[in-house]
Structure 1
Amino acid sequence: MKKADMLAYKERLLALRARLRGDVNALASHALRQSDDDGGDSSSMPIHMAELGSENFEQEFSLSLMETEETTLTAIDTAIERVDQGTFGKCVECEGVVPKTRLNAIPFTPVCVRCAEKLEGI
């Protein structure tokens, strides 16, 4: 892959990482908000058990999204390292070329389509 192409992908990866970090921070502050926000006033406490269940579900859902986005952030950081090492665009499994169409869809992917199918058991 040409250096100019690698730099363009690196810029996309950096932008995607910045956006996801903002999303993770927003999810964290929403899911883990403190009772300090209301000055210790318990009026924001749910009165009905169904409300409490809904809030618990929402918090669990947010935490699950955060975990998924953290995994994606790790994959992005690894892809940026591959750009810096000059190995970006090469499958880490078979060392074949990862097609640009795949990289355009999933710029942080470390594997080609064939290896992804093997890894996912398709």
Structure 2
Amino acid sequence: MGNTRSSKGAYSKSEAEPYLEKLKLLRARMVGDTNYLADSALKRTRSDAAGDLSKMPIHMADIGSDNYEQEFSLNLLAAEQVTLAEIDSALARIESGEYGACVECGQRIKKSRLNAIPFTHYCIDCASARDQESRG
């Protein structure tokens, strides 16, 4: 990512400033979301969540629902952590002066795309090509 091809389409630090603020706000919100998901998925038992202080056995369907909810929360947490890593990468690209340049072709990523996905690594053409490759 540190090659000359990547930096030719990069935004200057002043051009990247609005995205820096957007990324910082998005990162703060996502950190809160991931903390909440981790707390709800890993630290709370069914009885804690329901306020149930009884030690009576619970129904098997409740256990299944609890397991499903925990697995769903853990999957969301994993996806949020991937996005958080992409946000951190975008913040590093701003700092290094490489933000806004497609890491594939080096062309400038359009502002409309960065407004929608400020942590994107790819211009729309390269993202579409990667999508087509992954679909087979």
Q: TM-score, length-normalised on structure 2?
A: 0.80
Matched residue, 1:5: 15
Change (3 A) 1:47 1:117: same
Matched residue, 2:99: 88
Matched residues, number: 119
Change (3 A) 1:47 1:17: same
Q: Please provide the CA RMSD for this pair.
A: 2.0
Shift of 1:33: 1.5
4+ long deviations beyond 6 Å: none
Shift of 1:43: 2.2
Output the amino acid matched with 1:14: K
Output the amino acid matched with 2:34: V
Match for 1:59 among 63, 70, 73? 70
Paired with 2:44 and 2:91, the residues of 1 have a C-alpha distance of 35
Bigger RCO (CA 8 Å, 6+ sep): 2
1:43 alignment partner, SS class: coil
Matched residue, 1:33: 43
Shift of 1:3: 2.8
Matched residue, 1:75: 86
Q: Provide Cα deviations, 1:27-86, integer angstroms capped at 9, x if missing partner.
A: 000001255x95xx8627761111100000000000000000000000000000110011
Aligned residues of 1:79 and 1:108 also touching (Cα < 8 A):
yes
Paired with 2:96 and 2:89, the residues of 1 have a C-alpha distance of 10
Percentage of identical aligned residues: 50
The unaligned stretches of length 5 or more in structure 2 are 1-10
Matched residue, 2:4: none
Paired with 1:106 and 1:48, the residues of 2 have a C-alpha distance of 44
Aligned residues of 1:46 and 1:52 also touching (Cα < 8 A):
no
Q: TM-score, length-normalised on structure 1?
A: 0.89
Match for 1:104 among 109, 115, 128? 115
